[in-house]
Structures are given as structure tokens and as C-alpha cells.
Structure 1
Amino acid sequence: MNTKLLMASSAVFLGAIGVLASFFPQEILALTGIEETRISVLLIQMMAALYMAFGMLNWMAKGNIMGGIYYRPVTMGNVIHFGVGGIALIKAALAMPAATWLWVATIPYSLFAVLYAKVFFTHPVKIE
């Protein structure tokens, strides 16, 4: 598997979410139906910082060999993030099938979860 492409695409995905959440917290709250308060806006912006940081981590690690024992902490962080996030999104999307924005988030999260799990459990191969 080309882990460089996986790392770069997940970095762009996470970074885009982070930038959008950083600049548009009120719009995100309105989309999700959450009441806009100072603390809810702050929590969205703090979440944005986490997304941007994780995206930057993936971007900076994209050139390294991933999988097996190599870069295990970065790979495991991605497995946990996308796995737990994907499961939570699937549960929420099934509970609210009319919320199409949930399905838009669920599909890439679940795909990244499966791909990172595959990387974690397979022996790495260096692709030149």
C-alpha cells in the first residue's frame, strides 16, 4: 500500500476540517443544531486546533515507512482516531438518517479507519 498517499490525503482531510472549524465555528454549530454559546464556539475552535495539529503530524510523517513496527505511534494514533471517530459517526448517522452531513463525514472516516488498520497490521514495503 502506498502509505505516502494515505498519509497525505488524511493530512489534507484533517487540515481542511481544522481550518473550516477554526474560521467557521458558528456555521458549524448552526449546521449541527447546537446552541451557539461562548463555550461551544471555544470547543469547536479547540477541536480545530487538534485537527490541524494531527493533519500536520500526518503531513510531516508522510515520507516515512509506515506499518509494522515503524512509526507505530503515528499509525496507531490514526487507527484510534479514525476508528473511534468512524464508529461514533456510524452510530450517529444511523440514529439520524436524514442528516446528510453526518454521512458525508462518516464515509471518509470509515475508509481511513480501514486503511490505517490495514497499514498497522501489515508488514511495510518501501515504495520508491
Structure 2
Amino acid sequence: MILSALFYLVVGFILTFFSFDVASYMHLNASPLSIMMLNITGSLYLFLGVLNWMSKGNTIGGNYNQPLVWANILHPVITLIAMIRAVFMTKIHSRLVLILCLVYVLLGALFVHILLTNPMKPKKSIHHSK
């Protein structure tokens, strides 16, 4: 939860406050519309980062906090699909896109694991009774 919160907070901060730099780095037309879309995307990342940060001490997994877990599964999955589609449509193969794809695969897989794990299930003891 902390790892995803920090990732989303950093990306959200960059997209919100350095949108012109991001647009320039990505060779985007820095039109008011594209800057606004980067800012809106940044605000959504900040939202998810704050939500994850504030939920870090809560019990999650199994039936606990399913909306939070599903939000953290759907975001990486949908974003990964969009990124893969963009790679094939535009033939971009930047390291940044590949690194982000790996991060999203990792985040999605970790939250699927959290969803399928019951946090209240007792741990198996390695001690044998006599």
C-alpha cells in the first residue's frame, strides 16, 4: 500500500505541477487542452496516492476494503492496456514507457494477491504439538 501510494503521489505531483515539462519531454503539443488533461490526470493520481496513504494501516484483502483493492487493480490494468495500445499504434518504444509498464504489472499483481488473500486467516505454525 505504501509503495503504490508513493508512486501515485510522485507521478501525480509531477503531472500536476510540471505538466509543461512532461508535455515537452513526451513531444506533446503544449496546448491548453493537453496541459489541462495532464493536470486532471495528475489530480487523479494524487487522489489515489492520498487514498492509499490514508488506508495503509487498515485491514485489506479478502472481503475487507474491496472497493479500495478493486480501484488499485483496475487502474493499473486499464492504464497498462492503454500504454500497450499506444506502443503498437505509434511505435514508441521509450524506456520510460517500458519501465511504467513493468511498474503497473507489479502493482496490479500485488493488488490481485491482496484481493485473493484473507488477512484474518491464521498463519500456519511451524511448531509441532507433542
Common topology (TM > 0.5): yes
Larger Rg: 2
- 1:43-89 CA-partner distances (Å, limit 9, x unpaired): 11111111111100000001011111100000000010111112322
Q: Could you tell me how far apart the structure 2 residues matched to 1:36 and 1:93 are?
A: 21
User: For the Cα contact (< 8 Å) 1:68–1:123, is it kept in 2?
Assistant: yes
Identical-residue share of aligned pairs (%):
28
User: How many pairs does the alignment contain?
Assistant: 120
- 1:29-53 CA-partner distances (Å, limit 9, x unpaired): 1222221101111111111111111
TM norm structure 2 = 0.84
Once structures 1 and 2 are overlaid, which stretch shifts more, 86-95 or 97-106? 86-95
The corresponding residue for 2:47 is 53
User: For the Cα contact (< 8 Å) 1:67–1:119, is it kept in 2?
Assistant: yes
SS in 2 for 1:124: coil
Which amino acid is 1:74 matched to?
A: L
The corresponding residue for 2:5 is 11
Question: 82, 86, 95: which is aligned to 1:88?
Answer: 82
RMSD across aligned positions (CA):
1.6
Question: 108, 115, 119: which is aligned to 2:110?
Answer: 115
The structure whose residues are more often helix, as a share, is 1
Q: Which runs of 5+ in 2 are unaligned?
A: 122-130
Once structures 1 and 2 are overlaid, which stretch shifts more, 91-100 or 55-64? 91-100
Shift of 1:94: 5.4
Question: 9, 25, 29: which is aligned to 1:31?
Answer: 25
